[in-house]
Amino acid sequence: MQTDALTGGFGDAPVQAARAFRAALEAMARPGTLHEVTGAEAPAPVGAAAAVLLLTLCDAQTPLYLAPGHDVAAVRDWIAFHVGAPIVAAEDAAVVLGRWQALAPLDRYRIGTPDYPDRSVLLIGEVDALSAQGARLTGPGIETHAHLSLPEIEVFRANAALFPLGWDCFFTCGTRLAALPRSTKVEPS
């Protein structure tokens, strides 16, 4: 294990984890809103917001899949030390991390079952830009409509059509994050 795996975790874990969890909750409850999170630094190519989400949402009981590009020794070592999440195949994951393009094909991830829709995957997709522009979002948590710069639209429309099944998604870019739950309707702007 390299020494960079031992650094980059929360310095004040109870406080920083609580703030990060609040930001993640707010993002998921209000799709299309952008949130700044800090306090974690994982090895490249993992961005700061993605590292914060890993520290906040994953533990030793969370099966994690690292998409190509993110599945490197330094990232695996950092996750082993700070999170303890087992690295698994895509089909077995509860959480998936990677560049958005590397997450494809999306139909290989769990979408839950009619009896247990909560047994679906949470995608953490790192993107080059994240802003409150682009696709038009409507649905729970959005008063009238919101906008979010999504990497594509049709895949989210198909996912929403599966509701209550489907996957939920966080987008990260640097220290910013936004969420798109499966209940959100997505249309071109």
pLDDT one-digit tens code per residue, 102-161:
999 999 999 999 999 999 999 999 999 999 999 999 999 999 999 999 999 999 999 999
Q: What is the pLDDT of residue 6?
A: 67
pTM metric for this prediction? 0.95
DSSP E strand stretches across the chain: 35-36, 64-66, 95-99, 122-126, 135-138, 146-148, 168-173, 176-180, 185-187
Which domain, by its residues, includes 121? 3-187
CATH of the domain at 89: 3.40.50.11310
Confidence category of residue 12, pLDDT binned at 50, 70, 90: confident
Cα–Cα distances in angstroms (integers) from residue 54 to residues 6, 43, 79, 164, in the given order: 15, 13, 8, 25
- Could you tell me if 166 and 20 are in contact, meaning their C-beta atoms sit under 8 angstroms apart? no
Helix axes 48-57, 73-82, angle to 10 degrees: 40
CA 36, distance to chain mean position in Å, is 14
Beta-carbon count within 10 A of 111 CB: 17
- Could you tell me if 171 and 127 are in contact, meaning their C-beta atoms sit under 8 angstroms apart? yes
- Could you tell me if 42 and 150 are in contact, meaning their C-beta atoms sit under 8 angstroms apart? no
56-114 tens-digit pLDDT: 999 999 999 999 999 999 999 999 999 999 999 999 999 999 999 999 999 999 999 99
Q: What is the pLDDT of residue 4?
A: 65
Q: What is the pLDDT of residue 3?
A: 47
d(CA 45, CA 135): 26
Confidence category of residue 7, pLDDT binned at 50, 70, 90: confident
Total tally of structural domains belonging to the chain: 1
